[in-house]
Structure 1
Amino acid sequence: MLDFESVLKRFTGAVEANDGAALGALFAEDGVYHDYIYGAFTGRAEIGRMLNSHFWGDATNFRWQMLDPVCDGRVGYARYYFSFTSTMPAYSGNQVLLEGTSIFHFDPDGLIRSYRETANGSAAMVQLGVKPDLMHSKSVKWARELRGRSDAASHVTGRTALDGDG
């Protein structure tokens, strides 16, 4: 039986400690971490590199608190608070607090096959101090990605402002 709360503790602990090997070890060999900022990373080594180079390359003081976890052994969800302090030169020292939802898909051995999250990216960008034009281009990217997902296809039936004429 999958102990989801234990997975969550190990997952968040690895992120907070910048332990890429420990984070990668939670995933299947070909597991995918879909980060809403940095994109998709496949395989244990790439997931570990993402943590070490991207997360910890751009920020410090990570805190990740998982709340209200539910899991049926195949899919798990948890609401979260995630905070960090930016080390990016343009935003250095700015602290960000996010609320989101983590979505885990597990293989039969209890390893993470896929991790995805939902979060309010515009709230993060405002806290960082991102300029409105960059916020807009990132939001367009996220909207296109969402509308391009195969499991959302039945919802994508009409024209949007993304089509360039509205």
Structure 2
Amino acid sequence: MDTSMTFKTLIQKMTQAAVRGDGPGVAACFCENGIYHDVFYGEFRGNAIINLIEGHFHRDGKDFQWDLYDPIEQNSIGYARYVFSYSSTLPQAKNRRATFEGVAICRLEEGRIREYREVANAVTGLHLLGFSPERLSRFVDREAKALLRRAGGDTPQSK
């Protein structure tokens, strides 16, 4: 990969490959042992990113759209706001359209993504798919625990 590629070009290349279902194209945007932390499916490293795209994204959805806004890079970290949507192929949500808004956070190394994670308003998309309140609650609980791990475990209640 061209190490002079801008973050904007890199993140556009990665997201458009994901939209097409091109797992190898997405993986090529990452360092050899790069990590993709997906808010729904978990962590995928290196060539396992191909399975994330082909075995999960495009198993559970179709007609993807991933629009990026205001990508910026500073000190080897790239940020981009996005709106991501797809039509579900899950039996319980067949053809319902999910829409999510978030911010991608990419740690960069030599023109590739070393680590991708996102902060996303994912509950709205799951609600649009018709997920039950109990299932949404489990998702929110999991996300809260992950946030506390990243923040070192401090909570307002513990101070």
TM-score, reference length from structure 2: 0.93
1:32 aligned residue (32, 35, 38) = 35
- The answer as to whether partners of 1:20 and 1:47 remain within 8 angstroms in 2 is yes
- The answer as to whether partners of 2:101 and 2:122 remain within 8 angstroms in 1 is no
The Cα of 1:71 is off from its aligned counterpart by 0.5
The Cα of 1:72 is off from its aligned counterpart by 2.0
Amino acid at match of 1:131: S
Structure 1 unaligned blocks of 5 or more = 160-166
SS of the residue corresponding to residue 153 of structure 1 reads coil
Q: Which has the higher strand share?
A: 2
- The answer as to whether partners of 1:2 and 1:73 remain within 8 angstroms in 2 is no
The Cα of 1:35 is off from its aligned counterpart by 0.3
Amino acid at match of 1:124: G
Residue 120 (structure 1) aligns with: 121
The Cα of 1:80 is off from its aligned counterpart by 0.5
The Cα of 1:25 is off from its aligned counterpart by 0.6
The Cα of 1:157 is off from its aligned counterpart by 5.2
Structure 2 unaligned blocks of 5 or more = none
Residue 144 (structure 1) aligns with: 145
1:7 aligned residue (10, 13, 36) = 10
Q: Superposition pairs for residues 16-165 of structure 1, below 5 Å?
A: 16-43=19-46, 45-72=47-74, 74-107=76-109, 109-149=110-150, 152-153=151-152, 155-156=154-155, 158-159=157-158
Amino acid at match of 2:24: A
Number of residue pairs matched?
Answer: 155
The Cα of 1:156 is off from its aligned counterpart by 3.0
Alignment root-mean-square deviation, CA: 1.3
- The answer as to whether partners of 1:14 and 1:22 remain within 8 angstroms in 2 is yes
SS of the residue corresponding to residue 158 of structure 1 reads helix
Q: Which has the higher contact order (CA 8 A, sep 6+)?
A: 2
Identity level (%):
34
The Cα of 1:32 is off from its aligned counterpart by 0.3
The Cα of 1:154 is off from its aligned counterpart by 7.0
CA distance in 1 between partners of 2:95 and 2:75 (Å): 39
Alpha-carbon displacement from aligned partner over 1:94-124 (angstroms, at most 9, x marks no partner):
00111110111011x1111000011112101
Alpha-carbon displacement from aligned partner over 1:19-66 (angstroms, at most 9, x marks no partner):
0001001111110000000001011x2001100010000000001011
Amino acid at match of 2:50: G
